[in-house]
Structure 1
Amino acid sequence: MYKRILVPTDGSEITAKAVQTAVAMARLFGARIDALTVKKPFDYAGISEMAPVSPSDFQATQNRLAEQRLASIVEACAAAGVPHTVTAVEADRPHEAIIDHAQATGCELIVMASHGRRGVSALLLGSETQKVLTHSKLPVLVVR
């Protein structure tokens, strides 16, 4: 059914449920997992003599965090015997990076987590999952 499944991660606990679901589906369908995390770009507009962190330190931290986020997916895929690739990209708008990556790599399904916010909270806070659902032409499975 699906041969490539994209699983974006922000490293949160709720994402772990989406990872478990995606890995189980991949194993069942004989699919490959594409794990993706989106790193924040450095805000060069905020640089001053009082900058709390240098661009190189910021990038090193972002790279370390990305590796940590992706490591749990690598472990889950390895334990299940599911082929996988991992990618970290830098983007201001994570939902756009997720959709672009899915299209560029030929993914057929995006599996994401939702925090389950409703009402005014969901409207005000928004979510990357909601944005992906709104803008993606690919199917999106939301795990809660």
Structure 2
Amino acid sequence: MNHFENTSILVPFDFSEDAQNAIETAISIAGDNDNITVLHVVDPSQLYGFDDNGGYELGGGLGTARYSTAQVRSINEQHQYAALEAMQDLFGDSLHQGIQFATIVDDPADGISKYASKHAIELIVIPSHGRTGVRPLVMGSVAEKVVRLAHCPVLVLRD
């Protein structure tokens, strides 16, 4: 008996090999691909020229770019569409038939957690990219933040 069979599963996807492996893990435990949603979160700090911690490092671009609301909306929509199309192309084979694909624009950990809550997700399957050193202590990883923020169980996959 599979405990997660017929459970709605969310798999955050950043186009990495680890994320692809997370999708395969979700397929193996879901029982039905229709129960799986693959979510790509478009990080707005990356879209607008900030570095990966929101632009607070020297030369990160904080305050150097000004965008109108219409420009921001257009940039967001373009990146969401491109990510959605890329995921559908990447997983267009019969093995991935039935999987749902979604994109949102948000901070990755917050976006994953909010999406899971809003869509009554019952399990999040996320890879741990296994960062080491001082940086994860200061920044924290997306997987660690999702574990803290999620309303449902989180399966963190290690290498």
The secondary structure found in structure 2 opposite 1:75 is coil
How far 1:113 sits from its partner (Å)? 0.7
Give the Cα–Cα distance (whole angstroms) in 2 for the partners of residues 129 and 106 of structure 1.
19
Corresponding residue for residue 75 of structure 1: 92
Higher relative contact order (CA 8 A, sep 6+): 1
Corresponding residue for residue 47 of structure 1: 66
Deviation beyond 6 Å, 4+ runs, structure 1: none
Give the Cα–Cα distance (whole angstroms) in 1 for the partners of residues 113 and 76 of structure 2.
25
The secondary structure found in structure 1 opposite 2:130 is coil
Give the Cα–Cα distance (whole angstroms) in 2 for the partners of residues 57 and 94 of structure 1.
17
- In structure 2, the CA distance between the partners of 1:65 and 1:33, relative to structure 1 (3 Å rule), is same
Structure 1: gaps of 5 or more residues: 49-53
User: Residue deviations 1:57-99, cap 9 Å, x none?
Assistant: 6742453134324543x436x4155x321111111x1211111
Corresponding residue for residue 83 of structure 2: 65
TM-score normalised to structure 2 length? 0.69
- In structure 2, the CA distance between the partners of 1:128 and 1:34, relative to structure 1 (3 Å rule), is same
1:85 aligns with 2:89: no
Structure 2: gaps of 5 or more residues: 49-62
> What is the CA RMSD across the aligned residues, in angstroms?
2.6
Corresponding residue for residue 11 of structure 1: 15
TM-score normalised to structure 1 length? 0.75
